[in-house]
A and B are shown apart, each in its own frame.
Chain A
């Protein structure tokens, strides 16, 4: 068992140590310490939480005001060749509207020093399923197609570190599913992928690990379940439906692990500090009392609920 902070990974590729960033008197990031390794890390937070500033610092685009950021032990701002290993999908539009997707991605490949940028661009465009539209001008593209083009430009040089700022913005559900599959496949192949989003469902589907940010600070780190489990001051909420609610309610009130039971829209809303004990004991109590449970659903195990708690703690 290790006592390493959940914000740190065992084999870090990117390390952030006590990093702060301020613009004038506005603090964008405050004393962040975390690290990133292979797999998908979701950077979660509301708009203005400081995600984009952190991503820009990770990508070497912005200097931290204090603290240190290293990629494989090196400062990306003083080792430009590290950029050969990094792919960035920025939040900004960042495309030349008069270029075709192929020209744009080829140029991105040239800038990254790929020796055969034409072929690399064709491969990257095929990966994001834009081959059929590759020779159309970007100015004619929908937001989702532009987004996929930017992803193609970010992977044209096949980086092993991918930094994606709100990559699913503007994409339709089918494109979103494809991009999520692509991002997960890159991570499965060993790439370090950092994805920011303020859309909780996206992050939940994408990331193995979450760093939640609020007001420029790191609010939580780990998997959704681990973060929720760490919130010992907030009881779990479980929605239970049964064919005899009154009897069920009476049984539950007597249980040590239950702190409150509320009737809500023909169901019971139970608050408990020990979800495990409730899950263990409830079926037994129901069987012993001849009650049939028709629903047992933890209400606040989703990322959305967890994040709402985090946000309240600010």
Chain B
């Protein structure tokens, strides 16, 4: 036994070990955004809404496949036309992603800003621009999943019930590249609009309401005024993606899509200008915060 004692200085040294690169840190922010947008890590109630919407989005594809299987088993002729084709499927999924985006985008952006959590990012190496890009990429991935997974289920399901799965897939490849391209427009218009609103509105409920009202009012006004001048149909924001989808799939737009006689290049230009304006507004808002 010794009577001597000592308290050792455990020391504190600045971290000088290896660091994650910018890209790795960026993807960790994206993953965080993905988790938030679909409620992973949150209460069951937060997860219920996005996953219920995803299930609803996939349901028609499964239904079509089941009907075809049943028809094959019982030898019921279904005709030459597919029960549901890829471009028409967007009409259904677009309605669902409209609500998903309405809820998910404000959830992703507003609490960080209003509750001061933005400081978690801005007091560290990621810049505010990288934070925003990571958030938008996370939204793009989750909305893209909503748009693409049902289409994939439809494609693979129909392939599985066809006589030749690989033949079916190869035959569809020439056509299927149009699906992600069309999805991109649905995604860009909806996310850009919701994010621009969420950047300026500090209450989540209000942001959801403003988005839903603005999208519907603009579309209604554009639809109504298109009888006066066809170019007024360019106000109808919700009709830009279906119009562009029909252009991508090289098929005529249904009559209920306003502005079918407006040159598609005008719709494309308006869409791109709108997305650019939304991005500028979002960046402007966040640059003023920092």
Q: Enumerate chain A interface residues (CB-CB to B < 8 A).
A: 59-62, 80-81, 83-86, 88, 90, 92-96, 98-99, 103, 107-108, 110-116, 120, 153, 157-160, 185-186, 189-191
Q: Enumerate chain B interface residues (CB-CB to A < 8 A).
A: 9, 11-15, 17-21, 24-25, 28-29, 32, 41-43, 115-117, 119-127, 290
Knowing A83-B123, A108-B124 touch, does A92 contact B116 (C-beta < 8 A)? yes
In the assembled complex, 18 residue pairs joining A and B whose CB atoms fall closer than 8 Å, in A order, are A61-B119, A80-B125, A81-B125, A83-B123, A88-B123, A94-B115, A94-B119, A98-B41, A98-B43, A108-B124, A111-B29, A113-B24, A113-B25, A114-B15, A115-B18, A157-B124, A158-B13, A190-B12
Knowing A61-B290, A94-B117, A110-B25 touch, does A158 contact B15 (C-beta < 8 A)? yes
CB of A179 to closest CB in B, whole Å: 14
Knowing A61-B119, A94-B116, A94-B120 touch, does A80 contact B127 (C-beta < 8 A)? yes
CA distance A108 to B119 in the complex (A): 11
A113, A120, A189, most chain B CB atoms within 10 A: A113
Give chain B residues whose Cβ lies under 8 Å from the Cβ of A103: 41
B41 touches A95 (CB 8 A): no
CA distance A120 to B125 in the complex (A): 17
Across the interface, B116 reaches (CB within 8 A) one of A81, A90, A107, A113, namely A90
Chain A residue nearest in CB terms to B111: A96
CA distance A92 to B115 in the complex (A): 8
Across the interface, A59 reaches (CB within 8 A) one of B20, B21, B115, B123, namely B123
Give chain A residues whose Cβ lies under 8 Å from the Cβ of B19: 84, 113-115
Give chain A residues whose Cβ lies under 8 Å from the Cβ of B21: 113
CB of A13 to closest CB in B, whole Å: 12
Across the interface, B11 reaches (CB within 8 A) one of A83, A116, A189, namely A189
Across the interface, B12 reaches (CB within 8 A) one of A86, A99, A115, A185, namely A185
Interface of chain B: mostly helix, strand, loop or mixed: loop
Across the interface, A84 reaches (CB within 8 A) one of B41, B43, B121, B125, namely B125
Knowing A90-B116, A98-B42, A185-B12 touch, does A113 contact B125 (C-beta < 8 A)? yes
CA distance A116 to B43 in the complex (A): 28
CB of B33 to closest CB in A, whole Å: 12
CA distance A219 to B89 in the complex (A): 69
Chain A residue nearest in CB terms to B14: A160
CB of B197 to closest CB in A, whole Å: 23
CA distance A59 to B123 in the complex (A): 7
B12 touches A186 (CB 8 A): yes
Give chain B residues whose Cβ lies under 8 Å from the Cβ of A157: 15, 124
CA distance A59 to B18 in the complex (A): 23
Give chain A residues whose Cβ lies under 8 Å from the Cβ of B43: 98
CA distance A86 to B124 in the complex (A): 8
Give chain B residues whose Cβ lies under 8 Å from the Cβ of A189: 9, 11-13
CB of A111 to closest CB in B, whole Å: 4
Give chain B residues whose Cβ lies under 8 Å from the Cβ of A158: 12-15
CA distance A162 to B14 in the complex (A): 11
Give chain A residues whose Cβ lies under 8 Å from the Cβ of B20: 110, 113-115
Chain A residue nearest in CB terms to B118: A94
Give chain B residues whose Cβ lies under 8 Å from the Cβ of A153: 120
Give chain B residues whose Cβ lies under 8 Å from the Cβ of A94: 115-117, 119-120
CA distance A84 to B290 in the complex (A): 18
Chain B residue nearest in CB terms to A88: B123
CA distance A111 to B127 in the complex (A): 11
